[in-house]
Amino acid sequence: MLSVGLRAGLASGEGFVAVRGFSWRPFLDFYLPYVDTVSLVDGGVEFGGFPLFGEHFFVFGGGRRCVGCLAPAVVDGFSLCEGCGFSVWGARWMCSVRGAGVPFGSSFCDLDDPACGLRGAAVRCGGEHYVYLAGFGWVLKVGVVAADRWGGFVSRLVEQGADWAAVFSGGFTLPEAQRVEGEVCRVFGVVDRVGFGEKCEVFRSGVVCDWGEVAGEVADYFGLRLVGCYDFSGVYGVCPEFELAGVVRSPRVFGGRLVYARGNVAFFDVGGGGRGGGGGGEVYALDLYSLQGLPVLCEV
Q: Which of 170, 144, 166 is nearest to 213 (CA)?
A: 166
Residues 296 and 251: their CA atoms lie apart, in Å, by 11
Residues 161 and 51: their CA atoms lie apart, in Å, by 17
pLDDT score for 213: 96
The per-residue pLDDT string of the chain (300 residues; one tens digit each, 9 = 90 and over) reads 333 333 333 433 445 899 999 999 988 878 899 999 999 888 789 999 999 999 999 999 989 999 999 999 999 889 999 999 999 999 999 999 999 999 999 988 999 999 999 999 999 999 999 999 999 999 999 999 999 866 778 889 999 999 999 999 999 999 999 999 999 999 999 999 999 999 999 999 999 999 999 999 999 999 999 999 999 999 999 999 999 999 999 999 999 999 999 999 999 999 854 444 445 689 999 999 999 999 999 877
pLDDT score for 42: 81
- Phi and psi at 144, nearest 5°, equal -130, 140
Residues 199 and 122: their CA atoms lie apart, in Å, by 33
Listed by start position, the domains of the chain span: 1-85+245-300, 127-231
pLDDT score for 13: 43
Residues 286 and 53: their CA atoms lie apart, in Å, by 14
pLDDT score for 5: 34
pLDDT score for 11: 31
pLDDT score for 72: 95
